[in-house]
Structure 1
């Protein structure tokens, strides 16, 4: 198991914690979308946060995180589920900004500070749950933290971090999410906050060889940790030629005929994974007949 996420309880169950090493997962997204360093960090941080949020769901349940800021990155969209699968894209993959004042990748500069942070959860019910908050930081981790506090009324600390190499490949990517349960004492909160303030970025800790378990043990500053689950995480997209075919059918027979007449075929490209699907004139003729049958 290369990339994985751990779930834990600490302080007699008053603290819920998650940590994830998503290095290969984010590297796969970087490769598929050819993201440059600032775009890689912005997309990667969003994927890491979505993985941890997805880990709070049951297996088949899924969620979508949308970061819609006023920066040059445009929209970031990430899907994840309760099984550790994640996929995502960024509107502008080719952003490479100068480092910020702290000497770090300027994710805020790419995302922007005005806009909305939205989480849509599909829990298998009639209607999905949707929560939206303003972007408060643009650094992504603080935006996840604010969303959880406001939309889910769960006081949390979320750290998401991506270390990008000089050739734009991903060295490490990971994060943590620590949530305070009702009844937690101020003393416990103060202890964890102090440790958070003195801990290095998660991507640096992973680069030093620390595991998600070790990262949580350090952050929680207690021996009272019960590790509940260790779950593999991975980049996974469920796009297929059949799925896109169904979408083409919904365009209607006239639109499909226009594709046949003008382009003599069609190509569909998945935004999430970049895979391409080709449709010949004969394929489109079959889809046109299906569209006529549905009309």
Structure 2
């Protein structure tokens, strides 16, 4: 373990520029937050890899947003057995998410977890709520359904920002997360051909993010490998974590939405009900008294 990594027990994102501001770059280590998500949702290895990649991307993209109240949602809807992935993040890189079918099992593909097969063919949607009347929403086809390439395609098509995205989650045999992390590199509109081709050359040398993470490379080291020869300048680091802001009151909204008739039936059955937060799987219990109060309020 390098001393740099040793100081940072927590997950964090490094933000940087290169080539005198022609490039902006982000790299993250997210092992703990992906492990937390896995524990919360009891995800299978391939579901953990898929969710972990999108959580990592969400954390980095969240940290790109400017305002405290900005929210980002990433949704992948594919026809594979995973049944979709939803991730939300804020500008402080607090991130949470879930998959449709956490138990999905698939045979490995070329010795790797088959994330593309689990996701299937479909769409990636990016929603940014920046406090304006209408949230920004962009949608693209899934190109490989491996998530990193799909986001690369999204940035180029929906935001017109030439980008390179690398995401990796590596599992241990006992289904704990060994490593997780990734990077996003973006060209500014005034980036020169020379800078672009140099970075493309650097990216060709990096065959797998997972391999670099497995060597214990820190986010700083990832960026040095990718941009060290084009004047890398690290601007700051920001902590990232799996964090859900749910509460009994918030989850109550889901109870209200089932409708008065159904709530009345639950009261008649005389049993406490349990409702789980979709994002973090925390269970909230509502007693008959709670349900009566909810019905009163929804009049």
In the other structure, the counterpart of 1:248 is: 255
Q: In the TM superposition, what is the alpha-carbon distance from 1:96 to its structure 2 partner?
A: 2.7
Gaps of 5+ in 2: 1-7
* Structure 1: gaps spanning 5 or more residues: none
* Structure 1 range deviating more: 157-166 or 262-271: 262-271
Deviation at 1:77, TM superposition (A): 0.4
* 1:53 matched to 2:61: yes
Q: Contact between 1:39 and 1:90, CA under 8 Å: does it hold in 2?
A: yes
Shift in Å, 1:245: 2.0
- What is the CA deviation profile of residues 57-94 of structure 1, one whole-angstrom value per residue up to 9, with x for unaligned ones? 12321111001011111110000111010001011111
Q: SS at 2:237's partner residue?
A: strand
TM-score (norm 1): 0.94
Q: In the alignment, which residue of structure 2 is the partner of 1:25?
A: 33
1:192/1:221 contact within 8 Å kept:
no
Structure 1 residue aligned with 2:74: 65
Q: Aligned Cα RMSD in Å?
A: 1.4
The separation in 2 between residues aligned to 1:15 and 1:111, in whole angstroms, is 31
Q: Deviations over 1:1-43 (max 9, x none)?
A: 4100011010010000000000100010011111111111111
- Measure the CA separation in 1 of the matches of 2:162 and 2:199: 13
> Using the alignment, how far apart are the partners of 2:290 and 2:198 within structure 1?
63
Measured in 2, the distance between the counterparts of 1:25 and 1:250 equals 30
> Using a 3 Å threshold, how does the CA distance of structure 1 residues 185 and 263 change in structure 2: closer, same or farther?
farther
Kept after mapping to 1: 8 A contact 2:195/2:230:
no
Deviates more, 1:58-67 or 1:168-177: 58-67
Shift of 1:192: 1.1
For 1:3, the equivalent position in structure 2 comes to 11
| CA displacement, residues 169-192 of structure 1 (integer Å, 9 cap, x when unaligned) | 100100000000112122211111
Q: 2:101 aligns with which of 92, 95, 106?
A: 92
The equivalent residue for 1:16 is: 24
Q: What's the offset of the Cα at 1:127?
A: 1.3
SS state of the match for residue 221, structure 1?
helix
- TM-score, normalization: structure 2? 0.93
Q: Cα offset for 1:251?
A: 4.3
| Contact map agreement 1:252 1:291 (CA 8 A) in 2 | no
Change (3 A) 1:91 1:246: closer
The answer as to whether partners of 1:42 and 1:107 remain within 8 angstroms in 2 is yes
5 Å matches for 1:111-260? Answer: 111-112=119-120, 114-222=121-229, 224-260=231-267
User: How many corresponding residue pairs?
Assistant: 290
**Matching of residues 260-279 of structure 1 within 5 Å:** 260-262=267-269, 264-279=271-286
